[in-house]
Amino acid sequence: MAKQTIKAAFLGVNGVDRSSWCSKIELTIEYEEKDATVFTSGGAKEILYGLEGSKLAVTLKNDVATGQLDELLWALRGTIVPFEVRVSNAVVGVSNPKYTGSVGIGTLTPISGAPGDVNEASYTWTCSGPITRATA
């Protein structure tokens, strides 16, 4: 298995490439754990998995110029939109799968920082519906 560094990841939100504002992407796919332990479980806990509850975490460099990130995200606040993430901005393939789904833009942080800081914000948006993985 080849190890890999992330150098040019891809972030698409609402069908638009947002990679040039993004410095971190983390897609977490998780399922609810349900306790299925019974008296005959032999003294060990047993679990089943329930609903998928995934999250998309990104760090974005804010840009308040006309037509840039601030204006684009402002228009999406409070909505559920499609997203796509990839380890590389290269073409989708077996060594560069894409993960897609829908995400709720439930939080925005248009201003964040102290004197001399880069105006950036980290978001953890909740996914709505299942996440899919494709290699073509």
Mean pLDDT estimate for the chain:
95
Three-class SS state of 70:
helix
Please report whether residue 4 resides in a domain: no
Place of tokens 């901005």: 89
Please report whether residue 2 resides in a domain: no
pLDDT grade, residue 4 (50/70/90)? confident
Sheet containing strand 22-28, strands side by side: 22-28, 55-61, 120-126
Q: Which letter, b or e, does each residue of 112-132 get, where b requires 16 or more Cβ atoms within 10 Å of its Cβ?
A: eeeeeeeebbebebebeeebe
pLDDT above 60 (res 1): no
Please report whether residue 73 resides in a domain: yes
Please report whether residue 93 resides in a domain: yes
Provide the whole-model pTM: 0.89
pLDDT at 3: 85
Tell me the C-alpha distance between 125 and 11, whole Å.
13
Q: How many domains, the chain?
A: 1
Please report whether residue 67 resides in a domain: yes
DSSP for residue 72: H
Domain that holds residue 115: 10-36+44-134
Please report whether residue 124 resides in a domain: yes
